[in-house]
Amino acid sequence: MKQLLFVAAMAATFTACQVKYEKTKSGLLYKITKGKGGEKLGGGDFIKFNITYALPEKDTVLNTTYGKIPGYAMVDTSQRAKFTFMEVIPQCSVGDSIAFNLSIDTLKKLGAIPEYNNVFTKGGMIHGTVKILGRFKSEAETTEDYKKEMELAKTRDVKSVEDYLTKKGIKAQKTKSGAFVEITVPGDAALKADSGKQASIMYKGTLMSNDKVFDTNMDTSMHHTDPFKLVVGVGQVIKGWDEALPYFGKGGKGKIYVPSMLGYGPQGMGAIPPSSNLVFEVEVLDVTTPPPPAAGPAMPGMPPHGAVPGGAPHGAHH
């Protein structure tokens, strides 16, 4: 599926290279392909769109929303829209498509790219395509539509993980929201890592797409080897962890398969690309009752605040 999306995105950008472009005041090259005469867009409208950024000369898609959650934005007609596709949006209607070219040299001059590198090279060009999917008059309408897209994405992600497990012949238990738990050693049934318990975890996180390790404390490759301590079920970590850890007792070992929407979703995090399904190898070293929150000095008329939770492992924390 990802290969098909890549081919589709590259086909769109290749087509974009063959057309005759117009130019905005800021120098953005663009071409509008009209749709079926949908609603006209204007300043202050909220739009829903699919977008792809690519480097065709490198056969590289930098980012795409196709097959993922669409983009949402308010139509901006101010100077902030300079040298972006938003500069062209007021000429468009719902259903229209835009092909545009971004000069990497211009982006550097504007400060959008700090320095040239092996991706953004001097004299290079980024090709983009935008498809306008919808228009909303209020932020509330936009938010409601976004929630629907989030649910659709969650369904796609869970199905993707299920397909992965089937292909690999892995038997795993499904949590209530759609994470999957493969238990190799169940651990002490009398000391489960239940909600409200403090668990000490050794872990290794990999991208499901290519098995690349993005974080671990199981060896020295990421320069931290201390067990990670967390209180389960209170939102200190991603939802996939909160739902999966109670399947293990002290001494338990196994893997947690996390759909993107129960992990980092469309925003990603550090070495985790947007919309990435994740795999965590875990070992539960200990399960204890967490210490009570440390009481700090209370402000007049305010109850004392508990201690702020500490950091979480990369790929497990919010």
Domains of the chain: 2-140 (3.10.50.40), 155-288 (3.10.50.40)
Task: Identify the pLDDT of residue 316.
Answer: 66
Is-contact 266 299, C-beta < 8 A?
Answer: no
Confidence band (pLDDT; 50, 70, 90) for 306?
Answer: very low
Q: In this predicted model, which residue has the larger pLDDT, 127 or 59?
A: 127
Task: Identify the pLDDT of residue 58.
Answer: 81
pLDDT, one tens digit per residue, over 245-286 is: 999 999 999 999 999 999 999 989 999 999 999 999 999 999
Answer whether residue 309 shows pLDDT above 50. Answer: no
Q: In this predicted model, which residue has the larger pLDDT, 292 or 70?
A: 70
Task: Identify the pLDDT of residue 314.
Answer: 54
Task: Identify the pLDDT of residue 293.
Answer: 73
CA distances (Å), origin 284, targets 70, 170, 191: 38, 21, 10
Query: How do 46-55 and 125-136 pair as beta strands?
Result: antiparallel
Q: Quick one: how far is CA 308 from the chain centroid?
A: 25
Residue 158, judged by CB atoms within 10 A of its CB (0-12, 13-18, 19+), counts as: buried
Confidence band (pLDDT; 50, 70, 90) for 223?
Answer: very high
pLDDT, one tens digit per residue, over 117-173 is: 999 999 999 999 999 999 999 999 999 999 999 999 999 999 999 999 999 999 999
Task: Identify the pLDDT of residue 40.
Answer: 95
Neighbouring CB atoms inside 10 A of 96's CB total 22
Give mean pLDDT, residues 172-194: 98
Least confident span in 122-126, 230-234, 263-267, 308-312: 308-312
38 vs 95: CA distance, rounded Å: 6
233 vs 186: CA distance, rounded Å: 19
Give mean pLDDT, residues 277-303: 79
Answer whether residue 181 shows pLDDT above 60. Answer: yes
pLDDT, one tens digit per residue, over 68-121 is: 999 999 999 999 999 999 999 999 999 999 999 999 999 999 999 999 999 999
Confidence band (pLDDT; 50, 70, 90) for 57?
Answer: confident
Task: Identify the pLDDT of residue 59.
Answer: 83
Task: Identify the pLDDT of residue 12.
Answer: 47
Give mean pLDDT, residues 48-67: 91
Answer whether residue 239 shows pLDDT above 80. Answer: yes
pLDDT, one tens digit per residue, over 4-26 is: 444 444 444 444 445 689 999 99
Q: What proportion of the chain, given as a percentage, has pLDDT over 90?
A: 80
Task: Identify the pLDDT of residue 317.
Answer: 63
